[in-house]
Homo-oligomer: A and B are copies of this chain.
Amino acid sequence: MKSIKASTYFVHFKNKGYEELNALLIKKNYSSIFILVDENTLEHCYPSFIETLETKKRIEVIEIESGEIYKNLDTCDGVWNALTELSADRNSLLITLGGGVITDLGGFVASTFKRGIDFVNIPTTLLSMVDASVGGKTGVDLGNLKNQIGLFSNPEIVIIDQNYLTTLEEREIRSGMAEIIKYSLTFDIKLLNSIKNFDLSNIDSLIHKSIEIKNQIVLKDPKENGLRKVLNYGHTLGHAIESYFLESEDKNNLSHGEAIAIGMVCETYLSHKVLNLPYEKLKSVKDLIESIYPKISIKKEDLKSIFNLLKHDKKNSNGQINFVLLNDFEDFKLDCKISNRLLEDSIHFYNS
């Protein structure tokens, strides 16, 4: 599959990726190599990955616990201290091997260790492949606020190897699919057919197409001043819902995609109400999402906390919450303001 040229680096696929990584190791002559994993990727991805590395340099593995709740500064502190104890220097390389927690946190840790060391991202989940492989966002959560601490910083290379997906549970595949639906609704509605019939045999092209779409967007607007906000379609409400379920002790956590899927139904409803997106298109989005994701019940008493979390959305300015909405499929409008009343209606619509 054709490599994709991102701003300062390439996204390579499968064997081409490992070849380029080995070429990088020679070119940069790193003093030592650190691989960041969690218990899952250590078991399922690391054994095949390590076989591809051709180097005589010292290799050290740093393991963190899997899960969004560990995407925080305490975990960073642990990794920074591990790098220090293992004598990482400015000429060391950090390879992240895992899902979005590992690639986002690892990129942040590398970019701030001794004011920045090189890193290479190898996303192993569908979500991190299609969402985190271009765009340069690194970061961690602060309390229940997602990605509140971080910076824009680019890896040396990203390697996409769909073989890692075979180690995932179906729920994780569905989680990544929400981002692909987002790309489809905002930029390429033709993808919707492949999404309806997706399985691991046709997913390669969906991944490649998704990264191409995201790459075109972030090349035009790297720091999210305008166009890039479209990537938040479904995420404004979705993030708040995800955070709320994460912090509620009596609720099961949602996957990122499950939360974003709810957010997309709600924000497509808002698009219908505010921008006159045709009802049948709204209905088709709701039907698609209900065919892929379990129905989550959001109760009236949940709303206050969810709306409260919306106030901390990073896209807000001057206390205003900004939504991306659709005039039509493939035709979006940024910075839409929405009343709380209409937000409430959108959640009723999702529940209906």
Contacts and interface: CB of A to CB of B under 8 A. Distances in A.
Contacts of A318: 31, 89, 91
A91 B84 CA distance: 35
A149 B112 contact: yes
A211 B150 CA distance: 30
A110 to B, nearest CB: 11
A14 interface: no
Interface stretch (A62-70, A138-146, A170-178, A339-347): A138-146
A152 B116 contact: yes
A281 interface: no
A115 B150 contact: yes
A253 interface: no
Nearest to A225: B90
A114 B140 CA distance: 10
Contacts of A334: none
B149 A80 contact: yes
A314 interface: yes
Given A80-B142, A81-B143, A87-B319, A148 B314 contact: no
Nearest to A91: B317
Interface in A191-233: none
A77 interface: yes
Contact of A111 (B80, B113, B151): B151
Interface string A120-140: 000000000000000001010
Contacts of A316: 89-90
B314 A151 contact: no
Contact of A113 (B81, B90, B148, B152): B148
A317 B84 contact: no
A314 B112 CA distance: 12
A283 interface: no
A311 interface: yes
Interface in A64-107: 73, 76-77, 80-81, 84, 87, 89-91
A145 B113 CA distance: 12
A333 interface: no
A149 B89 contact: no
A151 B116 contact: yes
Given A84-B312, A145-B84, A312-B84, A115 B151 contact: yes
21 contacts: A31-B319, A73-B77, A77-B142, A80-B142, A81-B143, A84-B143, A84-B148, A87-B311, A87-B312, A87-B319, A89-B314, A89-B318, A89-B319, A108-B112, A111-B151, A112-B112, A112-B139, A112-B149, A112-B151, A115-B139, A116-B152
Interface of A: 31, 73, 76-77, 80-81, 84, 87, 89-91, 108, 111-116, 137, 139, 142-143, 145, 147-152, 311-312, 314-319
